[in-house]
Structure 1
Amino acid sequence: MLSLTIVVLATVAAGFVVWANDKRHSKYGAALPAGIAVGVAALAWIILMAAGFGYLPGLTWLPWILPVVLGTAAAIAAVVYLGRTRARHDTERLTAVLRR
């Protein structure tokens, strides 16, 4: 259970770093990338532990590193997608309001 705690803490930190480095981070909340990262990482950890990778000699690092990498990648993907779509939708709404 300690490994899940470390994975969650590392991915929360990575999610906040991803949010802080995004130039459009004002378009969505600070907890969104961190929450997505934690959700993906916890699910990956559960799957890897259920598959028995936590107890195989030579592969005990897999449930520690892979969930953090997957969670960070999911946070980056969410930030890229949400940043672009939210900026586009906000611009369209502002243009529609200004044309009235």
Structure 2
Amino acid sequence: MLSLTIVVLVAVAAGFIVWANDKRHAKYGAGLPAGVAVGVAALSWIILMAAGFGYLPGTTWLPWVLPMVLGTAAAIGAVLYLGRTRAARDTHRLTAILRR
């Protein structure tokens, strides 16, 4: 259970770092990338532990490292997608309001 705690803490930290480094981070909340990272990391940790990778010699690193990497990648993907789409939608709505 300690490994899940460490994986979640690293995923939260990675999510906040991803949020802080995004230039359009005002378009969405600070907890969104961290939440996405934690969700993906915890789910992948559970899947890997249920598959038995946590206690096999030579594969004990998989439930530690892989969920952290997947969580960080998911946070980056969410930020890239939401940053672009929210900025475009906000610009479109502002243009529509100003034309009235």
In the superposition, the TM-score normalised over structure 2's length comes to 1.00
Q: CA RMSD in A?
A: 0.2
The whole-number CA distance in structure 1 between the counterparts of 2:29 and 2:45 is 25
Following superposition, the deviation at residue 18 of structure 1 comes to 0.2
The 5 A counterparts of 1:8-87 are: 8-87=8-87
Inter-partner Cα distance in structure 1 for 2:35 and 2:78? 11
Letter in 1 for 2:49: M
The separation in 2 between residues aligned to 1:61 and 1:33, in whole angstroms, is 24
Where does 1:80-99 land on structure 2 (aligned, <5 Å)?
80-99=80-99
Counterpart position of 1:4: 4
Determine the C-alpha separation between the residues in 1 that align with 2:98 and 2:11.
Answer: 41
| Other structure's SS at 1:57 match | coil
Shift in Å at residue 7 of structure 1?
0.1
Q: Which runs of 4+ in 1 moved over 4 A?
A: none
- Report how many aligned residue pairs link the two structures: 100
| SS of the residue 1:55 aligns to | coil
- Name structure 2 gaps, 5 residues minimum: none
Q: Tell me, what secondary structure is at the counterpart of 1:80?
A: helix
CA distance in 2, matches of 1:41, 1:35: 10
Measured after TM superposition, the shift of residue 11 of structure 1 is 0.4
Q: Percent identity over the alignment? A: 84
TM-score normalised to the size of structure 1?
1.00
